[in-house]
Amino acid sequence: MKNIRRIRNIGISAHIDSGKTTLSERVLFYSGRIHRIQEVHGATADSGATMDFMDIERERGITITSAATQVDWGQNVINLIDTPGHVDFTVEVERSLRVLDGAIMVLCAVGGVQSQSVSVDRQMKRYRVPRIAFINKMDRTGADPQRVCRDLAEKLGLNVVPIQLNMGEGENFVGVIDLVTNEAVTFEGDRGEDVVRGPIPAEYQDTAKDARDEMLDTLSMFNDEMMELLLADEEVSDAMIRETLREATINRDIVPAMMGSAFKNTGVQPVMDAVCSYLPSPVDRISFARDHDNEGAETPLSCDPEAPLVAMAFKIVDESFGQLSYTRIYQGCMEKGKRYRNARTNGMLRVGRIVRMHANDREDVQDAGPGDIVALVAVDCASGDSICGAGVNYSLESIFVAEPVISLAISPESSADQDRMGKALNRFMKEDPTFRVWSDPESGQTVIAGMGELHLDIYVQRMRREYKASVTVGAPNVSYREAPTKEAEFNYRHKKQTGGSGQFAHVVGRLVPLADDAEDPYEFEDNIKGGSIPREYIPAVSKGFVAAMEEGPLAGYPIVGCKMALDDGSFHAVDSSEMAFRTAGKAAFREAFRKSKPCLQEPIMTVEVETPAKFQGSLVGDLNSRRGMILSTDTRESYTVIRAEVPLACMFGYATVIRSLSKGMATFSMEMARYARVPAKIAEEIIEKRRQAQTKK
């Protein structure tokens, strides 16, 4: 029987190009899973990092889809998921963190906390995932781990505890000092495979003592016995330090910080040792499910292999031989050949084959127990589905899915291409919840939507390569929204008399604009008292409000930012019905929304540009010309980091422009920040163009 306390389910997450996949490759090598290290950059379709197994990933040098593997590290079994860094593929990070027990947050020693680092931090906090921070690229000029730790504390609000000290930085980086054991750690051999521990060099002894005292002082806040020993000026044992680090990390009170250079094969093994020592096993994290046989009560799950099965399919890959469903087992045991229930559909599914993944390779297993991450072959389910054994009717917390911000029209060049395109789109939609497809009812065009230009570009390329579908792509369209700007009242009476029974519904209330930072685009407030509207009709009114929000009066865009308060109304004993109240709700919303001085809103992106300082002026000027607002400029050595907020509508084709302005030396990343009001003049132009397009159709 597998010792569940020896299992670690971890993800590696970070801003793009921080070295996640490079770190994963070293972990695979040092654990003996692979016997030759491949690099991310300079790869070809036949060579490249193990976890970047798609041709398009190797060509572009970026991770597009999360990849899972399992390695043995000492007595521990580590299920490892390498996730993308680019914000366009953020759903891969989202669903991975949903099922993981811990994570390694990788940061660039020069770049520090970057835009996607903020998103990853938000996702880790959403799923309450304990983490270790690994400050990578210590060999780069300008590396400053102390500044990165300050960034983590100031920008992300984390209680960072450095448990290592660097020996040198940049070209002079030679190793680290382990503050727990008070040893210098260096890495020898052709690939840094030999970890050498020894006394701390004389020039670092004072700095190391101060850093260790600071670490112990922070840790003593979580251990009264340690505090007493420190006050008595007595020695604290390594075992006590490790135990305190472990408890505080699992409770998410602290984030241990480590450092190294994965590319230079320095500092990787201590990180994996720390994963085993300080991050939780499945037993250490209590997961909860909703018990639908007990009015949805929150129920803790146990890591008991004898208990009824509870598992989650968190990622779907549609392949030629059938669907591959990545699944995390929380409770019980899943066995090959047995039947289980899908809690969402209430249908039964048979598990014919269970495989353990190693990037794109798979190994058949007979069963999987608590804490295991496996894949099910040819099982029909969707991403986020809960799978239950006999005797339980549980569902697990679903995966957060962001709304798309960009869309474009796509059309096949022939009828044969139409079939191939259809197959590709059906597959991509099933695999990626942030990728949407619909048919424009007026033009008849197929529209695809996603998280950014790169997101859609990758899918179009995959359509052409994997499905041989020749397609034509239109210009990108921004997903605008319509929103109210002031409170408005409604008093709508729906009355319709036909030959038989008629329809009657009367609703009175208010439309109140929500704050710009509200998480939900719609809220409903039920203020009905005294039975002026029967309770069974009130949900129908809300459904009418929601239906009316699908298309706004300004330009036909979805409506957001509305709180609908239902204050009063009346009904007819014979003619009132759910349908009548839904119709009344829909019409009342339209009446109120027109009176609320609606405005057009557009997605605003946080843009982060890293450039040689000499190009700063021209790049800032270009961002300003795109209606951008510069938030900060931070010069580090010879490089400048520019942070700005820019409307998405002004960022199309920016990759080409930035290459031209910086002679190919600048890089940028972009992620959705919020929706904001479109300036009146530009809004008028957008609305007029939309009306003209609809008139032509």
Q: How far is CA 420 from CA 310, 413, 465, in A?
A: 37, 11, 11
> Nearest-CA neighbor of 477 among 622, 649, 332, 267?
649
Q: Does residue 623 surpass a pLDDT of 90?
A: yes
Q: Which residues of 74-91 are buried (b: 16+ CB within 10 A; e: fewer)?
A: eebbbbbbbbbbbbbbbb
Per cent of the chain over pLDDT 90 is 53
Q: How far, in whole angstroms, is CA 693 from its chain's centroid?
A: 35
Kindly indicate the confidence band of residue 323, based on its pLDDT and cuts at 50, 70 and 90: confident
* C-alpha to C-alpha distances, 595 to 7, 20, 483, 564, 590, nearest whole angstrom: 59, 51, 12, 14, 9
pLDDT of residue 43: 42
Torsion sign across C-alpha atoms 37, 42, 46, 52: positive
Per-residue CA distances from 83 to 16, 302, 592 (Å): 10, 27, 45
541-545: Cβ within 8 A, 24+ apart: 541/507, 541/566, 541/569, 541/581, 541/582, 541/584, 541/585, 542/566, 542/585, 543/582, 543/585, 544/581, 544/582, 544/583, 544/584, 544/585, 544/586, 544/587, 544/588, 544/589, 545/585, 545/586, 545/588, 545/589
Q: What does the pLDDT look like over 291-307, one tens digit per residue?
A: 988 888 889 999 999 99
The C-alpha atoms of residue 384 and residue 315 are separated, in whole angstroms, by: 7
pLDDT recorded at residue 46: 46
pLDDT bucket at 54, cuts 50 / 70 / 90: low
Burial class (CB in 10 A: 0-12, 13-18, 19+), 351: buried
The partner residues of 106 in beta bridges, in order of sequence, read 14, 134
Amino acid symbol at 565: A
Tokens standing for 309? 């099965």
Position with higher pLDDT, 98 vs 280: 280
CA distance 313 to 416: 33
pTM of the entire predicted model: 0.76
Chain mean pLDDT for the chain: 88
C-alpha to C-alpha distances, 683 to 247, 371, 596, nearest whole angstrom: 54, 52, 17
d(CA 385, CA 396): 8
Residue with tokens 């014919």: 352
Please provide the DSSP assignment of 216-272 as one string. Answer: HHHHGGG-HHHHHHHHTT-PPPHHHHHHHHHHHHHTTS-EEEEE-BTTTTBSHHHHH
